[in-house]
Amino acid sequence: MDWGKGLKEDERQLLIDLIKIESPSTGETQVAKHLCDWLSSRGIRSRVDQVGNVIATWGKGKRTLCLLGHMDTVLPILPVALDDASITGRGAVDAKGPLAAMASALGRVAEREDEPDGHRVLLVGAVEEEIPGSRGAKHLAKRLAKTPPIATVIGEPSGWDRITLGYRGCLRMKLATTAPIRHSATPHGTAAEQGVDDWLRILEMARAYNEKRDDPHSLFSELSPTLLGFSSRIRGGVDEAELDISLRTPLGISSGTLFEALKDNLTGHLTLFGAQAAYRSSRNTPLIRGFLRAIRSLGGRPTFSLKSGTSDMNVVGPEWQTSMVAYGPGDPQLSHTIAERIRFDEYERGILVLEQLLMNLP
């Protein structure tokens, strides 16, 4: 099959439009309106909820399949470049490509099928996935806590023939150190030096943990600290330093216990402003089997992956405790890069996989 040639013009245009509409976290209003209007024009009930999420429903049954994508992107915004084979731009992969594929697949099914009585599809374009807090997914998780979906697909790039089963957790922290102002020739440590010493302690704690883990070659099982920012200044007669720290966590680690252990071993003041636990779903579910059939029907050889980052799976997974995967067209290695790009043939195959899934709801 000549992939990409079967892509409908309105589906191609939806992807282009979503990428062209700038939507950094907290700035999703315009892209939400466009997506809502596109879905409504295809007879899919759509609205924007009180936190800014797009909520679209199709079907009348109580058994709900949730397609949960997100509309926001990281910065910086990239120039949009378009050719016959692909589009480059911020969000092309993470995660407007997967979100547009979900919307397009639902649009195809709604166009030719009557609404099912036994199932309901809930499509969500969430806000603020890319920043600590995940406000859109948290709002949805609480709203559906008593009646969670029977299955959920998180719209994240996996590649059209790959299924993501889990994500590591993450602690986002600020570490603040202070010291009296002294001449730089004195032997006493500055606030910056104290911050460096504390950072080295964090690295040592992670190294000690990783040496004892059962699977030393798996990034998914690794405790991984990252120093995202470091600043120092003199303010009000006090020497100050601040470190912005991300700590990726494996399954089985309590965020609260880990945070307290860090506080006990560091000299500076540690503040936690974001925490998500690692999450991994089962491979033996009707949802997984539906994906395997769909990918194989298109000539693909499906594989599984575990991601080292986080997604809204970390938010809704522990809350709902139902069958869940992450899936979407696009190369995940291009996420957040200046080369973020998706091919139209990849996008089309993602739509076809999701369309088949919806035609044979688990």
* Every domain of the chain and the residues it spans: 9-167+278-359, 169-276
Non-local (6+) Cβ contacts of 250 within 8 A are 168, 169, 213, 220, 221, 222, 223, 278
**Rounded to 10 degrees, what is the CA torsion of 142, 140, 349, 163?**
-20
Sheet holding 86-88, edge to edge: 81-82, 86-88, 341-343
Taking the C-alpha atoms of residue 95 and residue 355, their distance in angstroms, rounded to an integer, is 18
Total number of residues shown for the chain: 362
Taking the C-alpha atoms of residue 302 and residue 294, their distance in angstroms, rounded to an integer, is 9
CATH match of 9-167+278-359 with 3.40.50.10490: no
At residue 167, the pLDDT reads 97
Assigned token pair, 205: 């704690």
Q: How many CB atoms lie within 10 A of CB 114?
A: 8
- Give me the phi and psi of 46, to 5 degrees please: -140, 145
Largest CA distance in the chain: 79
pLDDT, tens only, 41-69: 999 999 999 999 999 999 988 899 999 99
Evaluate if residue 3 carries a pLDDT over 60: no
Mean pLDDT of all residues belonging to the chain: 95
Taking the C-alpha atoms of residue 124 and residue 56, their distance in angstroms, rounded to an integer, is 6
Backbone conformation region of residue 56, classed left if phi is above 0, alpha if psi is from -120 to 50, else beta: beta
Q: DSSP letter at 332? A: G
Taking the C-alpha atoms of residue 266 and residue 271, their distance in angstroms, rounded to an integer, is 12
At residue 113, the pLDDT reads 79
Question: Of 72-86, 173-187, 315-329, which gets the smallest average pLDDT?
Answer: 173-187
pLDDT, tens only, 213-264: 888 788 999 999 999 999 999 998 899 999 999 999 999 999 999 999 999 9
- Give me the phi and psi of 109, to 5 degrees please: -70, -45
Active site residues: 72, 129
pLDDT, tens only, 165-220: 999 999 999 999 999 988 676 766 899 999 999 999 999 999 999 999 888 788 99
Chain centroid to CA 14: how far? 21
Distances (CA, A) of 217 to 211, 261, 283: 10, 25, 21
How much of the chain exceeds pLDDT 70, in percent?
97
Assigned token pair, 231: 């600043």
Taking the C-alpha atoms of residue 46 and residue 273, their distance in angstroms, rounded to an integer, is 33
CATH number of 169-276: 3.30.70.360
Taking the C-alpha atoms of residue 75 and residue 350, their distance in angstroms, rounded to an integer, is 25
Beta-strand pair 63-70/151-155: parallel
Tell me the one-letter amino acid at 220: F
At residue 1, the pLDDT reads 54
Q: DSSP letter at 76? A: S
